[in-house]
Amino acid sequence: MGGEHRRDIQGLRAIAVLLVVIYHALPGALPGGFVGVDVFFVISGFVITRMLLRELDVSGSIDLTRFYTRRVRRLLPPLAVMTVVCVGLAVVFTPFKAQVWAGRTAAASAALVSNWYLWSSGGTYFGPGDEQNPFLHTWSLGIEEQFYFFAPLLLMAGYRWRSRRGGLIGFGAVAVTSFACSWALLTPHITTDLGLDDGSRLVFFGLHTRLWELSLGVLLALASSLPPGRLQHPVALAGLLAIVVSALAFDHATVFPGPAALLPTLGAVALLATSDSIVTRLTSSRPLVVIGDLSYSWYLWHWPLIVLARAAVPEHAEVAGATAALVALVPAAASRRIIEEPIRTNDAIIGRRVVIVAALCIILPIILGLGLALGGKTRWGEKVPDAWSERRLAVISGCVDAKGPFSEKCIFGDPKHAETVLLIGDSHAASITEGVREAADTAGMKLAVWTTSGCPSLVGRTTVGMQSCRQRQADYLHLVDSLRPAVVVLANRSSGYTLPSVPAHAHWRTIGGPHDERPGNQAEALGFWSDGMDAMLSALEARRVRVVWVSVVPEFPRPFAAGVSLWRPEPYVAPVTKAYMNARRGPVLAAEAAVLARHPTVTHVDPATLLCSGQECSALKGATWLYMDDHHVNPEGSRLLSPLFTRAFAAR
C-alpha cells in the first residue's frame, strides 16, 4: 500500500473517538459505542505497519531505536501530563473508596500495564463501580503500547524470511491464535478447567486476546488495497454500516470481545481498504479530520473529566458528564499544541534525552498514583462513620467465611434455652444476625450462625467458579443434622446471583447449573436458583425442621461510601423508588414465590415491608443509617427487622 498521507484515516479516528466519547458521556445514547476502541486497534495496526513497511522497503531493516524513540515522544508525555493533572483533581473530587483503585490504575498506566492491573485486580469495564475510576480508559493504551514492543520485531523477522509474504504468514498466525484464544476463554467449561472464575475479563483486558484486532490492521497494510473502481463504494458503505450497527445494537450485555467484535473491526478494515469512495469524502472532511487530529488527546482527557464531574455534582451526573466531555476538548487541544506536537516533532529528543523524558513520564505518575492510592486508603485522615464500619456480630465473632468446622463461639443467646435457631446463607445472612438474635431471645431460643460470602444456602446449585461452595452447602445440611435446630433461617442475596447481566461482564457472582455451567440469560439463572432453592427446602422438610425463607433486602445503586470525598464529606443518598426495587428484585421474588407455593409450611419474610414505606426505600431512618453499604444492612437495620422474625418464630 502506498505511503501517501490519508486524511480519511484521521476521519475514521474521529468516528472512533466520537463513538467512545458519546458512549461514556451519554449512557444509553450509543449502547455499543465502546466498539470505537476496537476501531482504534485496527487503525493502529494499519498505520504503524505502513510506516514500518516504508522503512523496510527502502533499507530492508527497521531502526528499532528510532522507532521506540518516536513512540515515547508521541505517547508518553501527553499521557503523563493528563495523569499528573487528574491525580491532583482526584484527590479532591474522587471518592476515597475509589481513590485506591484509581491511584493504582494511574500508576499501572504509567508503567504501560494498566490492562493487566485491571484484570488482576478484578476490575471490569461495565461494572457498577468502574465509572468512578478516572484512569479506567488507559487499559486500551496499555494494549497498544505493548503491541508496539514486539510488532516491529515480528514484522522484520517475517520480512527477512519471505518479504511481505513472511509478514502476512506471521501476523496471520498471530491473528488466528489470538482469536481462538479469545473464543476459548469465553467458553465456560474451558475457563472452569483452567481455574478461572471469569475468563471474559481476561479476554477483555488481555493483550493476547486483543492482538487479532490489531493484526487485522497489520494484515491489511501488508496486503494490497482495494483498486479504484465501483467496488470501493459498496465495500466502504458496508464497512461504515457495520460500525454503526455495532454501536447501536451492542450493549453491556453483548459477549465482547469475541465473534461479535468481528463486525466493527472488519468494518474498519473495509474503510481502510477503500481510499476513494463516497465514504472517504465524508471521512476526509475538515471537521472530522480536525477531530481526528485531536483524537488521542481527547481520548486521554474525556473520561477523567467525565468521572470527576459526576463525582463533583452527583445530583446532576448526566448533565455534568456530558458537559465535561465537551469541556475536555479544551485541555485536549492545549495538550496537542503545547505538549504532543512540539515533543513529537523535536528530533533533538533522542538518546539520553529520550531516556530522561521516558523516565520522567513513567516515574512521576507512578509516585503520584501510589500516593493517591495511599491517601484514599487512609481517607486523608477523615473518619469513617460508625454506621459503615464492620460491626456485624457474625463477622466480628468469626462466623463468616470461617475455615474449619462449626465453632461454639457462633452460638449466641442464653445457653439455658433448649431450642436453637440456625441462620445460614451468604453475607446477607450475616447482616441480619442481630435482628434474628433478638427475635430468637424473645422466643426463648439460642441462635447459631454459619455463613459464607458469595455462597448461597441452596442444594445442587452453586456459585460459578467457587469450588468451595458445593462443600460448604453440604456443611450446612451436616450442621442441621448435628445441631437439630427448631428453626432454620435461610437468607441470601438472591437478586445478585440472578442479575440480568450476561456473564461476560457480570460484576457479581453468578449462580451455576448442575455442572457449574454459567446461565445463558436471566431466565436460565432464575431456573437454576429455583432448582437449588426447591432442593434445599425439600431437604430441610425431610428433616422435619421449621424453615424461614428471607427475601433479598432492597438494594441501592452504589455503596454510600463510594460518594464520600474531600469535596463532598457527606454522601449523596437519594431514596430509591419501589419501581427500581421491583425491577431489580421482582424477577427473583416471582421465581421464589413459585417455589414457596410448593412448600406451604415454609414461612416467608420480606425485609422490604419494614425497610420501605410508601413508594420509596431509604437507607436512613431519620438520621440513623440502616445500611453499611449498598446491599448489606448494618446492626441498626438488622434490629429494625426483628419484629418480622419474632412473628415468624411465633407462627411455628
- Is residue 469 within 8 A of residue 221, CB to CB? The reply is no
Over 80: is that where the pLDDT of 216 sits?
A: yes
DSSP 31-98: TTTTHHHHHHHHHHHHHHHHHHHHHHHHHSS--HHHHHHHHHHHHHHHHHHHHHHHHHHHHHHS-HHH
Number of Cβ within 10 Å of residue 528's Cβ equals 25
Residue 613: phi and psi, rounded to 5, are -145, 140
Name the least confident of 143-152, 313-322, 499-508, 568-577: 499-508
- Is residue 606 within 8 A of residue 494, CB to CB? The reply is no
- Summarised one tens digit per residue, pLDDT across range 384-441 is 667 677 778 888 888 988 888 888 899 999 999 999 999 999 999 999 999 999 999 9
Superfamily of domain 386-553+585-608+635-650: SGNH hydrolase (3.40.50.1110)
Pairing state between β 419-425 and 487-491: parallel
Sheet hosting strand 445-451, strand order edge to edge: 411-412, 445-451, 419-425, 487-491, 546-550, 603-605
pLDDT for 198 equals: 63
Q: What is the mean pLDDT of residues 332-354?
A: 95
With bands split at pLDDT 50, 70 and 90, how would you rate the model's confidence at 647?
very high
pLDDT for 504 equals: 36
Is the backbone peptide bond immediately before 559 cis, with ω within 30 degrees of 0?
no
Using CA atoms, how far apart are residues 36 and 31, in angstroms rounded to an integer?
A: 12
- Tell me the domain boundaries of the chain: 7-378, 386-553+585-608+635-650
Q: What is the mean pLDDT of residues 548-576?
A: 81
How many Å separate Cα 539 from the centre of its chain?
37
Q: Which three cell numbers stand for residue 57?
A: 522497503
pLDDT for 582 equals: 79
Q: What is the mean pLDDT of residues 524-548?
A: 96
Name the least confident of 32-41, 122-131, 307-316, 335-344: 122-131
User: Per mean pLDDT, which of 19-23, 190-194, 454-458, 561-565 is the most reliable?
Assistant: 19-23
Q: Which helix (H) or strand (E) holds 646?
A: helix 642-650
Q: Which residue has the higher pLDDT, 373 or 564?
A: 373
Q: Which three cell numbers stand for residue 467?
A: 469450588
Which are the contacts of 130, defined by CB distance < 8 A and separation ≥ 6?
Answer: 123, 124, 136
CA distances from 588 to 23, 75, 411, 498 (A): 30, 48, 31, 7
pTM of the prediction? 0.79
Share of residues in the chain with pLDDT > 70 (%): 93
End-to-end CA distance of the chain: 81
Number of Cβ within 10 Å of residue 112's Cβ equals 21
Name the least confident of 55-69, 93-107, 193-207, 527-541: 193-207
- Summarised one tens digit per residue, pLDDT across range 370-384 is 999 999 988 887 766
pLDDT for 125 equals: 61
Q: Which three cell numbers stand for residue 184?
A: 476459548
Q: Which residue has the higher pLDDT, 557 or 169?
A: 169
Which are the contacts of 361, defined by CB distance < 8 A and separation ≥ 6?
Answer: 72, 76, 77, 79, 80, 110
Over 60: is that where the pLDDT of 26 sits?
A: yes
With bands split at pLDDT 50, 70 and 90, how would you rate the model's confidence at 477?
very high
Number of Cβ within 10 Å of residue 87's Cβ equals 27
CA-wise closest residue to 39 among 17, 71, 7, 6: 17
Name the least confident of 223-237, 261-275, 601-615: 223-237
Over 70: is that where the pLDDT of 191 sits?
A: no
When the pLDDT of each residue in the chain is averaged and rounded to a whole number, the result is: 90
The region that residue 546 occupies, defined by phi over 0 for left and psi between -120 and 50 for alpha, beta otherwise, is: beta
Q: What is the mean pLDDT of residues 229-254?
A: 90
Which stretches of 185-198 are DSSP H helices? 188-193
Number of Cβ within 10 Å of residue 507's Cβ equals 17
Q: Which residue has the higher pLDDT, 583 or 547?
A: 547
